[in-house]
Structure 1
């Protein structure tokens, strides 16, 4: 079984309308949090910037949460703008739903394939793994990895999931040798 891995190359853009210029695209950039104390309550926001006009917006991560409800290590990571915490926060579907944005993964991922699949005789089984929840149509992903047309993919592959629906989780497929 040949392994393929879908990897994030950068943080995805956000489809989020800017209140100033009405642009639909924002970025988390280098990733910054803002932590604000109000008595014994904390607010935590992830700062994002409009790609057109540069306006900074805040995405609510925690609102009016008691200070004691935070693990001290997590609170330190928010204050230090930990890149892993920025990524996991941005990729959290609950944050996207609460702040009304979607992620635009165009150009933010790559496919690492095993070399020389065509050298093997007979059918080849491939396992696709996702390091991040990148929504990709399996047919498009397989076409990119094998260098075949999407019609040819339908003819030569057998897959354990529907090829036309986007997926964010791993799957396996078998490709038969060409005629």
Structure 2
């Protein structure tokens, strides 16, 4: 069985929200990574707090509304109470939460880094097909082509050459420009064709 190389995509920040501020001319809010909780008798409301990027005006994004307190898992309730950052990020990236609040995220505001083995080290192997698994716990609309260019060390033009040679499979299908990554996606690349494109058709690793 061939080795699976890992491409780990790590977001550096949560996405801004596209929302007009009613206190200034800004149209973006950032996640404050804190929760607001309000209990009334046996029910509880929980929000994730956002602030305007200019004037710090607040917007509370609803997570739970008039929910029975006992229906919340104790561990989750504790994380809300302690303003757990990881939990805040999970909801900030959640498409379901945004849909419920009828609000859109600005994914272009998300900065990220990708941890991967330099392709020069991998191309020396005798494997005919190079297999990569993408690890990306948060969905922020990142295109597969952007990940491939970074991890394979290719320009957009070189990647186009590779796809025209039918050398890249994404989820077992030919790579397309519209493809966006999900956690656990598998990418397969024809090693010989990659060497030719990567090394300017010389077939040798420099």
Q: TM-score range by the shorter chain?
A: 0.7 to 0.9
Call closer, same or farther: CA 1:140–1:155 in 2, change over 3 Å: same
Q: Give matches, 1:88-167, under 5 Å.
A: 88-105=90-107, 106-117=109-120, 120-121=123-124, 125-127=130-132, 128-156=134-162, 157-160=167-170, 161=173, 162-167=175-180
Q: Do structure 1's residue 9 and structure 2's residue 12 form an aligned pair?
A: yes
Structure 1 counterpart of 2:204: none
Question: Higher relative CO (CA 8 A, sep ≥ 6), structure 1 or 2?
Answer: 1
Question: Greater Rg, structure 1 or structure 2?
Answer: 2
Q: Give matches, 1:58-73, under 5 Å.
A: 58-73=60-75
Aligned-pair distance for 1:55? 0.5
Structure 1 counterpart of 2:186: 171
Query: Any unmatched runs of 5+ in structure 2?
Result: 202-206
8 Å contact from structure 2 (residues 119, 151) kept in 1: no
Q: TM-score, normalised by structure 2?
A: 0.76
Structure 1 counterpart of 2:24: 21
4+ long deviations beyond 6 Å: none
Query: In structure 2, the residue corresponding to 1:134 is in which secondary structure?
Result: coil
